[in-house]
């Protein structure tokens, strides 16, 4: 998929409040993450490690992370685009962010 395509971030609707906009963003993000997990079948798309766990503990060695290829702020049009994301294991996600153990 080309850069710049995808579902853009939702714009505020006249009369909407911050809470409703946040719930809309959260619903779109959950839908996008679910699609990435289904596509990857719970396996790291870089190394094939798996099955990965959907957990909030980011440092768990079996944790899976949905990571944007270019970043949410660099390509805001791809923020909710599942084709612009990958499912990564903890090690590859930390390497992507330049962190190491």
Q: Mean pLDDT, 10 residues at a time, over the chain (101 residues)?
A: 58 75 89 93 89 87 88 79 90 79 51
- State the pLDDT at residue 10: 65
Spatial contact of 34 and 27, defined as CB atoms under 8 Å apart: no
Cα 27 to Cα 46: distance, rounded to the nearest angstrom: 27
pTM attached to this predicted model: 0.75
Give the per-residue pLDDT at 1: 45
Position of tokens 């990958």? 86
The whole-angstrom separation of Cα 80 and Cα 84 is 8
The predicted pLDDT at position 12 comes to: 66
pLDDT at 64: 93
Rg (CA), the chain: 15
């Amino acid at each position: 998929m080309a850069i710049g395509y995808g579902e853009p971030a939702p714009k505020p609707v006249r009369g909407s409040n911050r809470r409703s906009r946040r719930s809309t963003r959260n619903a779109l993000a959950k839908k996008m993450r679910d699609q990435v997990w289904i596509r990857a079948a719970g396996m790291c798309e870089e190394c094939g490690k798996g099955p990965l766990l959907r957990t909030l503990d980011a440092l768990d060695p079996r944790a899976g992370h949905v990571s944007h290829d270019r970043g949410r702020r660099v390509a805001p049009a791809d923020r909710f685009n599942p084709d612009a994301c990958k499912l990564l294991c903890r090690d590859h996600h930390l390497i992507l962010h330049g962190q190491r153990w």
